[in-house]
């Protein structure tokens, strides 16, 4: 996944509101509004400031905006963020320093190594379509187009490994919240492809794939409710809930309770 963000210009553009599509921007704010509701709910339940882990902290957008509202930021006791792209770590550290986010720590860490944190959290989050970036190891970006092979994503071992480890890091009664996830339908696929082409990339997937990938090694999976339930097979289905982030089936948020 780090390869997606090796180029600094690409990183800057992927966070630039002026470059993102309106659907992406609205999904970004919708997931943030829902996240604040969940944060408040857990704070009342725990009756203390929360310990939060942000997988793929990016440019530290989420803690930056949480900290702008004192009543919200007071609900946060510790905020740890991980990323496996050095460019994102540097961006996050700049924001943390500029905004004086003294509760926030960032770690250069691949998500498959979350167990190395050796800490417990009340809330583990991943936002802004990050969960869909966890592509299977060894995916053949160079040869996939025109190969006639269709990737079977009934299982995604990397995704399951990451979120199984995240689940293990939760305190009793804690939650995983997966922010904006692309919904698996034709309209969303078309919007994904249009965005990558706008960015000057070459799409290597076909309409029959449940993900969009590019020759430049970008990858973004789309999900159904059932696919999420299957990937979280180690959690009772009744503890998984879905929040639509729009009225046109573009993105959803997923809550997984322990």
Domain positions in the chain are 2-185+223-257
Is the model's pLDDT at 15 over the cut of 80?
A: no
Q: How far apart are the first and last CA of the chain?
A: 27
Mean pLDDT in residue range 197-221: 95
Contacts by residues 92-99 (CB-CB < 8 Å, ≥ 24 positions apart) = 92/57, 92/58, 92/59, 92/60, 95/59, 95/60, 95/61, 95/64, 96/60, 96/63, 99/60, 99/64, 99/67
Yes or no: say if 35 and 125 are a contact pair by the CB < 8 Å rule.
yes
Query: What is residue 16's predicted lDDT score, i.e. its pLDDT?
Result: 79
Mean pLDDT in residue range 170-193: 97
Query: What is residue 17's predicted lDDT score, i.e. its pLDDT?
Result: 80
Is the model's pLDDT at 29 over the cut of 80?
A: yes
Burial of 225 (0-12, 13-18, 19+ CB in 10 A): middle
2 band by pLDDT with thresholds 50, 70 and 90: low
pTM value is 0.93
Mean pLDDT in residue range 48-66: 97
The CATH T-level fold of domain 2-185+223-257 is Rossmann fold (3.40.50)
Burial of 88 (0-12, 13-18, 19+ CB in 10 A): buried
Q: Are strands 76-83 and 170-183 parallel, antiparallel or unpaired?
A: unpaired
């Amino acid at each position: 996944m780090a390869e997606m963000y090796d180029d600094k210009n690409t990183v800057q553009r992927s966070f630039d509101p002026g470059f993102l599509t309106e659907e992406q921007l609205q999904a970004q704010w919708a997931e943030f509004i829902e996240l604040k509701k969940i944060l408040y709910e857990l704070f009342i339940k725990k009756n203390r400031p929360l310990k939060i882990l942000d997988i793929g902290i990016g440019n530290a957008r989420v803690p930056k905006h949480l900290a702008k509202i004192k009543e919200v930021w007071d609900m946060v006791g510790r905020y740890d963020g991980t990323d496996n792209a050095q460019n994102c770590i540097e961006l996050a550290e700049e924001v943390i320093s500029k905004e004086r986010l003294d509760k926030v720590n960032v770690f250069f860490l691949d998500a498959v190594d979350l167990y190395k944190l050796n800490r417990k959290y009340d809330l583990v989050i991943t936002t802004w379509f990050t969960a869909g970036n966890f592509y299977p190891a060894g995916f053949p970006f160079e040869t996939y187009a025109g190969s006639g092979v269709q990737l079977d994503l009934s299982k995604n071992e990397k995704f399951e490994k990451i979120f199984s480890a995240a689940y293990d890091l939760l305190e009793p009664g804690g939650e995983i919240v997966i922010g904006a996830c692309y919904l698996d339908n034709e309209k969303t696929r078309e919007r994904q492809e249009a965005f990558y082409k706008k960015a000057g990339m070459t799409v290597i997937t076909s309409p029959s794939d449940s993900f969009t990938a590019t020759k430049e090694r970008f990858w973004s999976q789309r999900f159904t409710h059932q696919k999420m339930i299957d990937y979280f097979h180690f959690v009772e289905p009744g503890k998984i809930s879905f929040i639509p982030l729009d009225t046109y089936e573009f993105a959803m948020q997923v809550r997984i309770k322990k």
